Structure 1
């Protein structure tokens, strides 16, 4: 795509050129430090690592067989429209910064900058929250307890290990998502084989057809984690100018990774349901507990009270699987960070934040300063949250995952409608891939994608929204995370207070970016 570096984007009237103009000079000064080292296969593995998050498998399985039914429904109603939307935006506007640039072109710098803060800051919340607590729980379940100070040490090692990986050049850093994707395929594949062996030796729990019937209560409980499982298509677009051929590679990678992720999610969830009684599946430990149970076929036993003891080869395979799970969690955080941090650096260099955060390292070609700031934030959140929840892993997990999803999805509510606006503002831009169905198709995928993420935000802030209305069964209080039972206000505050703080940070960043915008408005 031919750029027009001398024409700044104002977010106002339509530009005279047919092609979307470049960003401001502040980003132009950093662009030359990028390195084109991402190939088609790299983008595919990057997306598999991004989409297949191991931290939410237990949350879906905990809702029983209807989780699979809702997964199938949302694959058509959300996953497909969302993939079509991102495929057009990513291939039509292949500019570094991806979601920030689309929103910037559509709605202007202020809106895009505040929106980008939400998108970026969700990563340290996620890494210091649910990813960290599952990694620690897995370590304690398979290896050794982490008493007192050791839990803090282990969490900080997890956070900073990922941060040091993200800092590396894309030529080196891309191998982390590749390793993460392969770890997922091997781990989940071995788990499924073990489920078959377990079923032959011990039988499996029956899954009555009635339990697959979708309910509104199940939908409200599942829609946040299911849709969170399905997002991440836009992340490679944040590194568009580090790809060999983004116009070709982005749509293809979205198609292939989407199909792979559906299998890599659905099959393990079904395996968990076959192995564990539904009442024994927890959001935090569901996948961990299922792994321990099935690995008893290699050595170990399950006591009458459900306690699992692994011995011999079972203990060895359990340890390997635990290590693979921790690696999978770490690489999830790294893959998201590689995209979100790049978009934040572009935003800051463009004047939507302090210019010093928009600097690209000459040595590594990556936004080192944003990476380090994210690690500091994740560390602070980890320590604070662990103290506020008094070490309660389930409570920490529920609050952290909810805030991560809520923050990310509020940013999507702004980003997704960019498709409609950019179709109108830049009708002559070369679109290697376009959403089928003309204007009606564009409206349909935008409304479906935006509507689902907006609804998810509502049910995260107020669990049980709509339950008991219009004849639906159940009580809204039952939709609260189990660890927050009877504590609606406490849970709501864990979501609303940080969100207001993050919005304040976005506005502060805009003020701090004033110097960089001077003469470029």
Structure 2
């Protein structure tokens, strides 16, 4: 609405494509966590089989009504908080007896803009906060959304920050940064503090796997509905618009997600077991999700400027203060994306970003192809609020 169909299609594509990449990267964690907790070694074929089972488990659950899966999502949220509490408490206990395995001074919690590694992790910090603003979509169920939405957004942000800080302290207490695994850090930390054979380590490992599954189911409902809605309005390919006649669920989007994630996982066969597949997939998924948020800020500005209809909630600030408030997150998003995919020097560590950069470029080009194909079902492109209908936002001829 704010920027029109052209940007709506681009935003929808980035928001959608991040999800199957994310599911694939989380699926890659499953065998690694099982190995870290129970010491079971898997061949490449067995790993891929486990990962595909995870992907299609999420896909099948996403094809059921939300009411039938709420127990999984609610249970996963509770378990995630319990894991955080366990890691934090055990970490503090361990640090009191043995000291911290890392430098835990205040400066280590602040990004160092002169350190390329620190800039790279900026995208992960932002990624961890993505989604808490979704509470605004429940405005119709609130008695007083103008009061409740700010409270819920602030409470959600504080809760997310607290969870990751507590968990980070627990991990930092036990595992030196250079030895920290990218895909099983929580389990490694508990194992380092209690031992791999300790029952609590195994419980945390099993609970962690459950939270991965539940988290993907939560996101799948939102992503599938967005892709289906976009497809029905000519901003995504038509197969995404297919819905179940029985349940009304966007099964077309769910099945496409499952197939796409499966194809991504099968790339491990030509790449081999030695490739850091998880990090490449996860980095690409993070980049596309961050990219999907960038157009939202200019869209908000345009709606505020040209569409003064009453709304259930009005964000604060006006004029130049509002412009600064909108510009800051855009700058943060752009910086985090650049730091994640662009080699900042010629060191071997930085050059490992090249596969991610290539993957993102290919994904963006595919998104443009998707947009051009999808727009065939529309006679006119919606130019967006306040657009004159000429130039970049001109109606399709």
**TM-score after normalising by structure 2:** 0.86
1:422 alignment partner in structure 2? 303
- How far off is 1:256 after superposition? 1.9
Aligned partners of 2:13 and 2:367 also within 8 Å = yes
The reply to whether residue 196 of structure 1 matches residue 92 of structure 2 is yes
1:137 to 32, 35, 56: 32
2:339 alignment partner in structure 1? 459
Q: Distance in 1 between matches of 2:270 and 2:319?
A: 49
**In the superposition, relative to structure 1, how do residues 363 and 491 fare at CA in structure 2: closer, same or farther (>3 Å)?**
closer
**In the superposition, relative to structure 1, how do residues 380 and 321 fare at CA in structure 2: closer, same or farther (>3 Å)?**
same
SS in structure 1 opposite 2:312?
A: coil
**In the superposition, relative to structure 1, how do residues 440 and 176 fare at CA in structure 2: closer, same or farther (>3 Å)?**
farther
What CA deviation, in whole Å up to 9, does each residue of 1:208-228 have, x standing for no partner?
Answer: 648526422143122111111
Q: Distance in 2 between matches of 1:230 and 1:415?
A: 16
**TM-score after normalising by structure 1:** 0.66
Aligned partners of 2:84 and 2:163 also within 8 Å = yes
- Uncovered stretches (5+) of structure 1, i.e. residues with no partner: 1-104, 297-309, 465-474, 481-485
Aligned partners of 1:416 and 1:446 also within 8 Å = yes
- Uncovered stretches (5+) of structure 2, i.e. residues with no partner: 382-394
2:7 alignment partner in structure 1? 111
Q: Distance in 2 between matches of 1:232 and 1:208?
A: 28
The reply to whether residue 186 of structure 1 matches residue 186 of structure 2 is no
Q: How many residues align?
A: 378
1:409 alignment partner in structure 2? 290
The reply to whether residue 158 of structure 1 matches residue 54 of structure 2 is yes
**In the superposition, relative to structure 1, how do residues 206 and 459 fare at CA in structure 2: closer, same or farther (>3 Å)?**
closer
Would you identify which runs of 4 or more consecutive aligned residues in structure 1 move more than 6 Å? none
- How far off is 1:152 after superposition? 1.4
- How far off is 1:197 after superposition? 3.2
Aligned partners of 1:118 and 1:407 also within 8 Å = yes
2:65 alignment partner in structure 1? 169
Q: Distance in 2 between matches of 1:290 and 1:137?
A: 14
1:245 alignment partner in structure 2? 142
**In the superposition, relative to structure 1, how do residues 214 and 348 fare at CA in structure 2: closer, same or farther (>3 Å)?**
closer
SS in structure 1 opposite 2:234?
A: helix
Q: Distance in 2 between matches of 1:119 and 1:420?
A: 20
Aligned partners of 1:159 and 1:378 also within 8 Å = yes
Q: Distance in 2 between matches of 1:246 and 1:333?
A: 30
SS in structure 2 opposite 1:106?
A: coil
**In the superposition, relative to structure 1, how do residues 349 and 145 fare at CA in structure 2: closer, same or farther (>3 Å)?**
same
**In the superposition, relative to structure 1, how do residues 149 and 479 fare at CA in structure 2: closer, same or farther (>3 Å)?**
closer
Superposed, 1:100-499 pairs within 5 Å as 105-128=1-24, 130-143=25-38, 144-205=40-101, 207=103, 209=105, 212=108, 214-215=111-112, 216-217=114-115, 218-235=117-134, 244-245=141-142, 248=145, 250-296=149-195, 310-311=196-197, 314=198, 316-384=199-267, 386-392=268-274, 395-427=276-308, 429-464=309-344, 475=345, 477=347, 480=350, 486-487=351-352, 489-499=354-364
The two structures, once aligned, show a CA RMSD in angstroms of: 2.8
- How far off is 1:401 after superposition? 1.3
Bigger Cα displacement from structure 2, 225-234 vs 433-442:
433-442
- How far off is 1:260 after superposition? 0.7
Aligned partners of 2:227 and 2:253 also within 8 Å = yes
What CA deviation, in whole Å up to 9, does each residue of 1:351-409 have, x standing for no partner?
Answer: 2234453244343232121111111111111112x22431236x112211111111112
What CA deviation, in whole Å up to 9, does each residue of 1:281-337 have, x standing for no partner?
Answer: 2333332311211223xxxxxxxxxxxxx33xx1x2222111111111222222222
